[in-house]
A and B are shown apart, each in its own frame.
Chain A
């Protein structure tokens, strides 16, 4: 049990931060969409007014359309008359309502979401025939905005790219190395994929073509990783220097390939990976991918010979060599894997933003390294857990999200993030010293 605490102690810090932001973002939640419709339907039916004549008023958003549809269905199922649904701007609503009144319809309930209540109040004042009508909105309740499912899933989706690449970084750090080129490789991968997709038909490219282009971009990044690994092992150049150089070259190549402009000729369907979510629980596909990668990495590091060898090389590479471990091969493999994962990150990002730009992934390497170090990986080498890095990534993401929700100014956010990273590592060091 104490070993779990040493390895995953950062979980406590993460929970603490979550609790803090939950408390700080408690506010009135005004439901929309399907759940809101269900609420309101329930309210209306419960009031037992059989002679209700309901007009549903909404703005032209996806959420509110869903709300209107669902509400209409539910009300009609319960034999309550829905006179009409008025959509659009306040003026549109007013005109539509006037139209209804002029046609002789009676309206005694105006159903809408909280955001439109004020508008309807105004309209009521202007239309005498509506003075008896009541405006009904779904009840709001107090709940931390931070903990809303929509928010949490959003947080995870935003950190997905950094988290995915951080898996590779964890392994590199465990071997006692570092890889500064990952941010540039994310851009390089996104640009390469977009460029290839554009050549393969741009917005009209087929699904197979798009998949092929993405795989090519990922493989390319893997090759760059292999190059890095070879430089580190064969020529014993410090990883810091090699990856610094590769960082520059990759970023430069990204600018060259894209000619400095974002490439946006990508089919709309491609965004399923970066923006889409599975139907059942609305978990974004990018988050699912992140989960699969972490699971696979954890199994590899804890239960396979390769994982053992990685820890051995990081702990004492000479002793490992004298015990028969192929140190060079392991190191090249680790850097190649990191390149591949950066490639995957770039593809996900291109999918999220429906474009490939050479400015992607700016400063990502710092966040990625921070995630690994906060998660418990030691820069000396030999120590670190994959799921620890996930916790580290979440700490960064949750903190950023929390600061946004609580209105911390963006300049202050930099300072706070730096302080949180330092604090987390300090805590970990003090704990380990005991």
Chain B
């Protein structure tokens, strides 16, 4: 193996070599490898489907490799189950945390290895231990707080504390910053730097390339299940990384094409919902892309849900093309020509048990049913066009939607709403957890929709995306609009952050 980077003084912590893994019909990994050194932050990047998750799951014992070796601190280990991994000193913090919501932070940290005498748990000892841990990390969380009452960032801290407590030598973080605000991300980085000082090796998986440049020491790129290369962070730049990830150069990350903008189409007046949205008013014109941003609980999704009728509004009016809309359910919103692509596509965007085709058809059945009898042939042919046009990867139309990859699920959701021919399209975090190539395709689609004179509201936490694709930006804070930016070309991330924190 040939790794560039620092010299021999650093000991190798984890060495994964020649890892192969296949699932029925798919070769997930072919000759993949990873080398992690003590005290380093090693980023792992690649498009969706590149194999990052599978490689990590092999390290954590969730999958067994078909062939290849894993060595931890020089010794070859046979990791066949999560317990083997834990014994080998590997801790993984997944995107969906492994915490029991109804138990306290302390109970979760000691889950499975309680400090107990004759079966009676010694709460005092555990509590002391947890308080010391939290102090070391630099957070003040009451160990007795139930995990369901903790914020996402706090839950993540509990997971990290758990990893330290079990004396993990290797901590893997899978998209740790996905649900965090900028401040919380900073705090996370501080924790990571502290872990480094204690010679813990960290594998950091993220789609946010700018973050990687801030926190990582080296980066490994994977593509199509194969190892592409490892670089020291000082010796590489973003476009080189993207080129390695995608296999080609992507010229323009945000292919924004300004559509001809017409009159006001969607007008929102004095929207209120107790505890979430406070007197929000704005308007969007035909062909315009309105970027809606702010911190995680600023109320952006809540505004979208009010417009879509998913939640009941306490007061306020919604007008589309001059007419006031009485919307009290998503059904009525869809009938009025409004659609919402939800933030959480698995839990809210798709019915996992139904097939891809049935999900696609759900809001659109009226188009190809006669007296409530579904004309399946027509349904198949319409869906086939979208599969081709959006390049959705499905084994066949009847594959359960829950089995598709994240990017394909998002494309399926897109197809569903495109077919509804809505005039107002609200995207809530449209490119979260999606590979670079698919992101690009979604941006092109947004351009097309704008060119057709539709109204687009794009909610996003990724400021480069907001700046790259919006015609106008509204920043929210605490349920209220804190600012509007009409001159996007001259706007900066700094400016938006100031409005978001205000």
Contacts and interface: CB of A to CB of B under 8 A. Distances in A.
Nearest to A312: B351
A323 B374 contact: no
A308 B349 contact: no
A306 B373 CA distance: 9
Given A322-B310, A326-B331, A308 B353 contact: no
Interface stretch (A31-39, A55-63, A313-321): A313-321
A323 B416 contact: yes
Interface in B328-349: 329-331, 334-335, 340, 342, 347-349
The DSSP consensus for interface residues of chain A is helix
A311 B361 CA distance: 13
Contact of A319 (B308, B331, B349, B361): B349
B374 A319 contact: no
Nearest to A321: B330
B362 A316 contact: no
Contacts of A320: 351, 362
Contact of B374 (A3, A304, A318, A322): A304
A305 B347 contact: no
B258 to A, nearest CB: 31
Contact of B353 (A303, A306, A315, A323): A315
Contacts of A321: 310, 329-330
A219 interface: no
B330 A316 contact: no
B351 A316 contact: yes
A312 B363 contact: no
Given A308-B362, A382-B353, A324 B372 contact: no
B350 interface: yes
Contact of A325 (B348, B362, B374, B376): B362
B352 interface: yes
B358 interface: yes
B373 A303 contact: yes
A311 B331 contact: no
A324 B351 contact: no
A322 B372 contact: no
B354 interface: yes
Interface in B294-315: 308, 310
A383 interface: yes
Contacts of B398: 3
B165 interface: no
B369 interface: yes
B365 interface: yes
Contact of A322 (B330, B361, B365): B330
Given A305-B372, A305-B374, A308-B362, A322 B340 contact: yes
Interface in A284-307: 303-306
Contact of B347 (A304, A318, A383): A318
A318 B348 contact: yes
Contacts of A383: 353
Given A308-B358, A308-B365, A322 B353 contact: no
Interface residues of A, number: 22
A6 to B, nearest CB: 11
Contact of B361 (A304, A308, A318): A308
Nearest to A329: B331
Interface residues of B, number: 30
B412 to A, nearest CB: 12
Nearest to B416: A323
Contacts of A323: 330, 334, 362-363, 416
A311 B372 contact: no
Residue among A311, A322, A383 with most chain B CB within 10 A: A322
B354 A305 contact: no
A315 B369 CA distance: 22
A316 B373 contact: no
B348 A303 contact: no
A319 B340 CA distance: 11
Given A312-B354, A316-B353, A324 B373 contact: no
A308 B374 contact: yes
A305 B373 CA distance: 6
Contact of A324 (B349, B358, B362): B362
Contacts of A306: 372
A324 B334 contact: yes
A308 B348 CA distance: 17
Contact of A303 (B330, B358, B376): B376
Contacts of B365: 305, 308
Interface string B357-390: 0100111011001001110100000000000000
A303 B362 contact: no
A316 B358 CA distance: 13
A316 B352 contact: yes
Contact of B331 (A314, A318, A324, A382): A324
A431 B207 CA distance: 37
B354 A315 contact: yes
Contacts of A312: 351, 354, 358, 362
Contacts of B329: 321, 326
Contacts of A3: 398
A304 B368 CA distance: 11
Interface string B130-172: 0000000000000000000000000000000000000000000
A304 B398 CA distance: 17
Given A303-B373, A303-B374, A311-B358, A324 B352 contact: no
Given A3-B398, A304-B374, A305-B374, A324 B350 contact: no
A294 B331 CA distance: 31
Residue among A303, A305, A324, A326 with most chain B CB within 10 A: A324
Interface in A190-225: none
Interface in B248-270: none
A120 to B, nearest CB: 64
A325 B351 CA distance: 12
A372 B456 CA distance: 46
A305 B353 contact: no
Given A303-B376, A321-B330, A315 B351 contact: yes
Contact of B369 (A305, A316, A319, A326): A305
B469 to A, nearest CB: 24
A308 B363 CA distance: 11
Contacts of A315: 351-354
Contact of B351 (A303, A305, A319, A326): A319
A306 B372 CA distance: 7
B330 A311 contact: no
A56 B353 CA distance: 67
B330 A324 contact: yes
Interface in A310-351: 311-312, 314-316, 318-326
Contacts of B363: 323-324
A356 to B, nearest CB: 35
Given A303-B374, A305-B369, A316 B347 contact: yes
A322 B369 contact: no
B323 to A, nearest CB: 20
Contacts of B340: 322
Contacts of B330: 321-324
A325 B354 contact: no
A14 to B, nearest CB: 25
28 contacts: A3-B398, A303-B373, A304-B372, A305-B365, A305-B372, A305-B374, A306-B372, A308-B362, A311-B353, A311-B358, A312-B362, A314-B353, A315-B351, A315-B352, A315-B353, A316-B351, A319-B349, A319-B350, A320-B362, A321-B310, A321-B329, A322-B349, A323-B416, A324-B331, A324-B334, A324-B362, A382-B353, A383-B353
A-B pairs with lowest CB-CB distance, top 6: A315-B353, A382-B353, A315-B351, A323-B362, A316-B351, A324-B334
Given A316-B347, A322-B330, A326-B331, 17 more contacts: A304-B369, A305-B365, A305-B374, A308-B358, A311-B351, A312-B354, A314-B353, A315-B351, A315-B353, A319-B349, A319-B350, A320-B362, A322-B348, A323-B363, A324-B331, A326-B329, A382-B353
